Structure 1
Amino acid sequence: MVGQRIGYVRVSTLDQSTARQLDGVETDKIFEDKVSGKDANRPELERMIDFARDGDTVLVHSMDRLARNLEDLRAIVRLLTAKKVRVEFVKEQLTFTGDDNAMATLLLNVMGAFAEFERSLIRERQREGISLAKQRGAYRGRAPSLDAKRATELRAKAAAGVPKAALARHYGISRETVYAYLRVEV
């Protein structure tokens, strides 16, 4: 029995498009994530792994769409192939079944290492760009969630014993942000 052809596509931000990734590739179902590939904690990836069955084929545009670090890439491929699911990377023209030869395993490791390296370069360039923008005065960071008056009000309510979760709901901020405001010396 031939299984389903399952597509997995991923982009890092909501405004990016996944349209080109499996364009022209026949699939029965596609799972789409619009989150970073920095780790395997992605809702549609998890749904796709749960959905895939013995005999299915998972199609991914390229290895870096499935994972941005070698450890996650290897773990995801192993998890799928242990379920007797084929994993095909369209761009690299590589297929993994679990019965892979030494060359296929080497290519998975090398290509995965390049994806991880690329992510590191992206993060490094981002840090450098922010640093340069700060030096020029063009980058000031994120705007404060609360103005000075509301921050003072929050501190007074916290001192009066109002629960942090209630403060977070009232001001429309996270509890961690409440704690950050409470840590700041006035």
Structure 2
Amino acid sequence: MKGQKVGYVRVSSVEQNTGRQLEGIEVDRIFVDRASGKNTDRPKFQEMLNYVREGDRVIVHSMDRFARSLKDLVTEVDKLVKRGIAIQFVKENITFTAQSTPMDNLMLQLMGAFAQFEREIILERQKEGIKLASVQGKYKGRVHKLKPDKAEALRQAWKEGQYPSKMALGQAFGISRQAVYRYLKAGEELS
């Protein structure tokens, strides 16, 4: 049974270009996530997993676009293969199927481990760079969107119950719900 070729593309931010990942590769359907790959809880990733059927082939640019951790990579590839779905990684030039050999599985483990190691090294270098820049006075951290008086007004509005939810409060002040939590927590620490 010949199935569909299903492409999966992931970029970490809205600004990143998705075009190059599967350039020149014909697919019947493509799923694009604009989200971090730190876990498998990505909308289009989950939609793709629900869409594919036995005999289909999932085509991904590279292992690090599919999963960031070795555990997630091995788990998700294994789930697909057990369902009779092939998964092809273009950059690594490797495909996994139900007929994959123990050597193929070893390659998956090794390549996944190297990809995870590379990510961890990049994060370590980033932290070292931030620390060095901080010591030199060049790094100031995240820019706060609200000035102190606005932050206090936000906390007061919440305390007085002027908004039904933190989401509504954030919308009124032009910040995300997560930022509302940060400002409220910072206010508790000041008290």
Scaled by the length of structure 2, the TM-score of the pair is 0.86
Distance of 1:54 and 1:182 partners within structure 2: 54
CA contact (8 A) 1:8 1:32 kept: yes
For residues 69-115 of structure 1, the C-alpha deviation after alignment (integer angstroms, 9 at most, x for no partner) is 11000111112112211111122221111332110110000000011
CA contact (8 A) 2:31 2:48 kept: yes
Q: Residue 87 of structure 1 aligns with which residue?
A: 87
Shift of the 84–170 alpha-carbon distance from structure 1 to 2, 3 Å rule, reads same
Question: 2:111 aligns to what SS in structure 1?
Answer: helix
Q: Residue 76 of structure 2 aligns with which residue?
A: 76
Correspondence list, 1:113-152, <5 A = 113-152=113-152
CA contact (8 A) 1:11 1:34 kept: yes
Shift of 1:12: 2.0
CA contact (8 A) 2:155 2:184 kept: no
Correspondence list, 1:6-155, <5 A = 6-155=6-155
> Structure 1: which amino acid aligns with 2:115?
A
Shift of 1:169: 4.5
Scaled by the length of structure 1, the TM-score of the pair is 0.88
Q: Residue 186 of structure 2 aligns with which residue?
A: 181
Unaligned stretches of 5+ in structure 1? none
CA contact (8 A) 2:55 2:85 kept: yes
How many pairs were matched up? Answer: 186
Shift of 1:15: 2.0
Which segment drifts farther, 7-16 or 170-179?
170-179
CA contact (8 A) 1:78 1:98 kept: no
Unaligned stretches of 5+ in structure 2? none
RMSD: 2.1
